[in-house]
Amino acid sequence: MKIFEMKYLLTVILLVNLSNYINSAPVIVQPGSPGEASQLIDATTAIKISDTSYTHDDVMFLQQMIPHHEQALVLSRLAPERTNSEAILELAKKIETSQEDEIIFMKSWLSDRDETHQHSMTHNHMQMMGMATPDQIDELSGSEGVDFDELFLRLMITHHQGAIKMVDRLKDQPGSAYDQVLNDFVSDLDNDQSVEIERMNVLLTNLSDDPRVNLAAGLFHANEAIKNLEKIVSLKKPDGFFDPNKLVEEGAQDNVDEDEEAKTIEDKARNSRYPMLSFSNTDMAFSQDLLVAGSYHGFNIYSLANDGMPELISSVICPGGQGDVSIVEHLLIMSVEETRGRIDCGLQGAGSEPTPDRFRGIRIFDISNPQNPMQVGIVQTCRGSHTHSVVNARTNEGNIIVYNSGTSSVRDQDELETCFEAIPGDNRTALFRIDVIEIPIDNPSSSRIVKSPTVFADEETGVLAGLWRGGDHGDETQSTSRTDQCHDITVFPSANIAAGACSGNGILFDITDPYNPKRMDVVSDTGFAYWHSATFNNDATKVVFTDEWGGGGRPRCRAWDPLDWGANAIYDIVDDKLIFKSYYKMSAPQQETENCVAHNGSIVPIPNKDIMVQAWYQGGLSVLDFTDSNNPIEIAYFDRGPISDEKLVTGGYWSAYFYEGNIYATEIARGLDVFKLTPSNFLTEDEISKATDAFPVIGPKRLFNPQQQIPMTWRKNEITQ
C-alpha cells in the first residue's frame, strides 16, 4: 500500500472512532481504590449513592447505642432485689421502660434501611461511652441497700453522660442526623438523659449525711452549715456596688426554640447574657489596718479595728473587671481586663471600635489618703490584666516589679500598635508571654512594661507554642486550652521561685533574676481543665495548684462530679521538680444551682503544719491540712445554700484569706464575711493563737497580697516541736 493510501485509511478510521465517541451516551464512572479498576454505573445507582437521608455515622451511632441501652437494662433490673428505696425503684423502672422502647425504635430504623443491628466495639470504646466494666457490674450485683443505691446512681449517671457524648460526637459529623425521624430521636435522647442526670444527682446528693447538703436557698437568708469556725460578721455590699432594684445579677436568657426548653440548669446558665456593668466582688489585699476588696465595678477600702472587724472607709467606682488588687506602701495596683474599661474610669464603656479611651492593663492608685484615692499611673497591655503578682516591693532603684498575666484577646494594633495576634512564625505575637512591669514608687506615672519574656517557648527550638498545645489527653480526660498565658503566677521571692497556673500546665519558675524568669519544671494533669492558681506552703517545699473546671460559673461539685476534677493537686518540690502527691476536693455535694469549683486561698501560718483556707464559690470555704501531702484532710468549713433554688445565679466566695487571726472571704453576690478558727481535734487553741501572732520574715510586718507569698515566722519561745 502506498503511503498516501495508508494515510487516507488511518484518517477514515480516526473519523469513524471520533464519530462513535461523539454520538455515544456519556458514561458515569465510579473509581476504585488506588490501583483498582473503575466501574461504570447508571444514573439510578449514582443517585442512590448520593442519597443523604442517612450516613454511615448514623448507622454506627445506633449500632453502638443499642448495646449501650441494653447495659442500662442490665443495671436497672438489678434494683428490685437490692434496694430499699422507692425512689430508686421508680427510677430503675422508668429507665427500663424508656430504653426498651428506644431499643425497639433503633432496631426498626436500621431494619427499614437493610442495616444490621450488630457492631463490634472494643473494651476501650465501650469505656469511652460511659459503659460500666464487668468488675463494676459484679460490684453492683454484690451490693445492697444504700451501698447499692450510691453505686447504681454513679454508674447510671456516667452511663447517661456517655450517651450524651455519643450524641455530641454524632452531631459533629457532616450530614449526620439529617433524617428527621432520627434527628427527633437524637434530640429527645439528649434532653431526656440530661434531665434524668439532674434527677439522679438529687437522689445521690440525698444519700449524703454531710450538713452542707441541700441547704435552703436565699440571698441573705440561706441556711448555713459550719464546722470548727465561728462567723464573726457578714457585711452586705456597699451602696453603689449593687442595684437596689435588682440585688443579684441574673442573666437574660437567649431566645431558644421549644426543643431547648428541656435543657438543664447548667445549659441555661451557659446561654445567659449579663450586663456590661457588673457588681461582682473579686479579690482582696491587706496592708496594716486596711483591707481592700476588689470588684468588677472598682474597689472598696475598709479599716480594720483591733479585733479585725472591717469598717467601710471609701468606695472607688472604676469598672473594667476583674479588679484584682495588691498594695505596696502607699500604692494600690489593680488589674483591668475587660474591653469596656476606660482610662477615665467612665461608666459608658469604650465601644467595639479601636479607641484611645479604652484601658486594659494595670491601674495604679495612691491610697495614702484612703478616703480620697487617686489614679496616678496606668500601664496599657496587649491582653489586659487578669491577675498580677508583686515580685519585688522595692528594688535598689526604687521600683516595684510586677508580673502581669493577661488571658483575654489580643488588642487591635490600631489601638495599641505593639500588639500582634498569633501569626505563624511571627515572634512579635502577644501570645505565649507574660509582662514584666516596672512601677517607680516615687513616680508611678512613668510605669511601663520592660520585658515580655516568652516563658512558654520550647527551650531548645525556640518555638513559642512549646508547652500544652490544647485538646484532651485521651478518653475520659479533660480538654484544656493551649498554654499561651498564665492565670496566676504566685511568687515566693525569698526562695527565688514562682509557681504558674498556666491554662494547660503547672510551671515552676526560677525568679532569681526577676526580669528573666526561667522554667525549672512543667507538669500537666489529665483531670485539669484550667490551671487556675497556686499556693506554696510556708517553707516553699510544696505547692497546691487548683483546677477551675467550668470557669467559676458552672456547678462542678455535684454528687456525681469526679473528685479529681475541679480539685486541688498537691505537689512536693524536690530538687527543683514538681512531684505529684494527691488530690483534694471539697467533698460535700452541692446543688445544680450552685456554681462550685476550686478557687483562691492562702496559708494559715501554724508552726510545723501545712494548713490552707480556700474558697469554692457557692461551695463555701474549707480549711484543709496537707501536712501529709499524700493524705490531705478537711478540718473546718462554712457553707450557705444557693442564692436561688430555681436558676444558677453566680455567687459564692471568690477568695478566702487568713490575715492576723481572722479569715476574710469576699462573697461575689452578697458582700464580705469574717470568720475565726475555733479549737478542735485538729487545731488547739495554742496553735490558733500562734497563727494569729505570726509575722512576715521580711518586709512590712502587716501585709498580704494575692499571688505573693512571704514566709511567716513566730517567736522562738512559742514554737514547739
Alpha carbons 588 and 277: distance in angstroms, whole number: 33
Residue 277 has pLDDT above 60, yes or no: no
Task: Report the relative pairing of strands 703-704 and 281-287 from DSSP bridges.
Answer: antiparallel
pLDDT tens sequence across 175-231: 888 888 999 999 999 999 988 998 998 899 999 999 999 999 999 999 999 999 999
Q: What is the pLDDT of residue 11?
A: 53
pLDDT tens sequence across 64-83: 999 999 999 999 999 999 99
Q: What is the pLDDT of residue 42?
A: 83
Alpha carbons 475 and 478: distance in angstroms, whole number: 9
Residue 629 has pLDDT above 50, yes or no: yes
pLDDT tens sequence across 674-709: 999 999 999 999 999 999 999 999 888 899 999 999
3-state helix, strand, coil in the chain (%, to 5): 25, 30, 45
Q: What is the pLDDT of residue 128?
A: 54
Distances (CA, A) of 243 to 251, 267, 275, 297: 14, 26, 12, 12
Alpha carbons 421 and 428: distance in angstroms, whole number: 8
Task: Report the relative pairing of strands 322-328 and 310-317 from DSSP bridges.
Answer: unpaired
- Amino acid 407 reads T
Say if residue 322 is preceded by a cis peptide, omega within 30 of 0.
yes
**From the centroid of its chain, how far is CA 133?**
29
- Phi and psi at 168, nearest 5°, equal -60, -40
Burial of 716 (0-12, 13-18, 19+ CB in 10 A): exposed
The residue count of the chain comes to 721
Alpha carbons 683 and 582: distance in angstroms, whole number: 22
Residue 146 has pLDDT above 90, yes or no: yes
Q: Are 133 and 79 in contact (CB under 8 A)?
A: no
Alpha carbons 150 and 148: distance in angstroms, whole number: 6
Alpha carbons 255 and 264: distance in angstroms, whole number: 15
pLDDT tens sequence across 126-135: 445 889 999 9
Hey, which of 15-24, 113-122, 477-486, 577-586 has the most confident mean pLDDT? Answer: 577-586
The three grid cell numbers given for residue 32, joined into one nine-digit string: 476504585
Whole-number average pLDDT of the chain: 89
**HSE-CB for 153 with a 13 A CA cutoff:** 30
Please compute Rg for the chain using Cα positions.
31
Residue 122 has pLDDT above 50, yes or no: no
Three-state SS for 605-659 is CCCCCCEEEEECECCCEEEEECCCCCCCEEEEEEEECCCCCCCCCCCCEEEEEEE
Containing 9, the helix (H) or strand (E) segment is helix 3-23
> What is the value of pTM for the model shown?
0.87
Task: Report the relative pairing of strands 671-677 and 229-236 from DSSP bridges.
Answer: antiparallel
Closest of 245, 315, 324, 243 to residue 278, by C-alpha:
243
Q: Are 75 and 93 in contact (CB under 8 A)?
A: no
Task: Give pairs for 71-80: CB < 8 Å, separation 24+.
Answer: 71/131, 71/132, 71/159, 72/96, 72/99, 72/156, 72/159, 73/99, 73/100, 74/137, 75/132, 75/137, 75/140, 75/152, 75/155, 75/156, 75/159, 76/156, 78/140, 78/141, 78/148, 78/152, 79/148, 79/152
